[in-house]
Structure 1
Amino acid sequence: MRWTVLDSPIGEFSVATDDDSVRGTRFGRVAGAADEPGDGFSRRAVAELRAYFAGELTEFSLPVAAPRGSDFERAVWREMTRIPYGGMLTYGEVARRVGDPGAARAVGVACNRNPVPVIVPCHRIVGAGAKLVGFGGGLDRKRFLLELEARVDFERSLLGSG
């Protein structure tokens, strides 16, 4: 596994890759992370992340290694990947979709334990009434990511390409 750090509009962002998948992402610099991607898959991962942060990519094609977590957490993470670019769901809506309507708080815990933020878009899960609550990267980063996606989605709709 190799960590690479890239500059992004939300600060340094680190991505861990192996030969054919993303293993994790972190806000900030991970100790020992390289400033330049190596050959192969890490280059692809960094390129897709840069394109996403530039508003040029709306859907990642990167395979993600099967993350460790409880059955419930993995169900929440799968549901996150189904939220379309520019979209949002509440914690309660995600809880209902994974079959446990009373588990909104547990959805929040699963979001916090998401090993691949941004690529697995936990930032698209918000509180009731679209209130910005809870985000491991901080609410400023969550706001930025949601605003980036909303702006790009709006611009694409104006151009008739979305």
Structure 2
Amino acid sequence: MKFKNTLLFTSHIDTRLGGVRLVATDQGLAGVWFDAQRHFPDITGWQTNDAHPVLAEAATQLRDYFEGRRRQFDLPLDLSHGTAFQQAVWQALRAIPAGATTSYGRLSAGVGKPAAVRAVGAAVGRNPISVIVPCHRVLGADGSLTGYAGGLDRKTALLELEGAL
């Protein structure tokens, strides 16, 4: 994930699935990564600001989610740091409700690219806003748990929390 010419604010919270790095721009929440997650960005030069309104609200909503008190998120998101194709995939992920899953093939068809399953999978893997943009709800064609940048153990835990497993 490349954030160019953007002032970035960051904070860190602890959850039952490990530490989580939150990132916001002036436009909204731009990143949620578990510690040591694949594709974790270089945070050099980012300004720590636990009181940033978007970061503080994201922290509250994520804590509520992990405690089973929240199933949906209500936050301004900034997904502008991906390609147009990635942004389309990330928007499609947002339509998968808690407790439900989809396959990479159905997701590909949903973004109008039914033959682009691998490209959709790559975009899902690069989702910068884990949990809130629910890439963990995408399964293999046979329903198997496949790929999750935060680790399959976390994907399993998230799906169990939502009642999808």
Pairwise same-fold verdict (TM > 0.5): yes
Contact 1:20–1:41 (Cα < 8 Å) also in 2: no
CA distance in 2 between partners of 1:137 and 1:33 (Å) = 24
1:95 aligns with 2:145: no
Residue 82 of structure 2 corresponds to residue 75 of structure 1? no
Q: Percentage identity across aligned positions?
A: 38
Moved more, 103-112 or 14-23: 14-23
Query: Unpaired segments of 5 or more residues in structure 2?
Result: 1-7, 37-42
Q: Deviations over 1:61-83 (max 9, x none)?
A: 01101332222211111110000
Q: Deviations over 1:44-95 (max 9, x none)?
A: 1110111111111111001101332222211111110000111100000000
1:1-162 residue pairs with structure 2 within 5 A?
A: 1-19=8-26, 21-28=28-35, 37-150=50-163
Secondary structure of the residue aligned to 1:12 is strand
State the alpha-carbon separation in 1 of the partners of residues 122 and 62 from structure 2.
25
Q: What's the TM-score once normalised by structure 2's chain length?
A: 0.83
Q: Tell me if the contact between 2:54 and 2:75 (Cα under 8 Å) persists in the aligned partners.
A: no
- Number of aligned pairs? 151
Deviation for aligned residue 1:33: 7.9
Counterpart residue number, 1:159:
none
Equivalent-residue separation in structure 1 for 2:158 and 2:142 (angstroms): 18
- One-letter code of the match for 1:14? R
RCO (CA 8 Å, sep 6+): is it higher in 1 or 2?
A: 2
8 Å Cα contact 1:5/1:33 also seen in 2 = no
Determine the C-alpha separation between the residues in 2 that align with 1:97 and 1:41: 30
Structure 1: stretches of 5+ with no match in the other structure: 155-162
DSSP 3-state at the match of 2:92: helix
The alignment yields a C-alpha RMSD, in angstroms, of 2.1
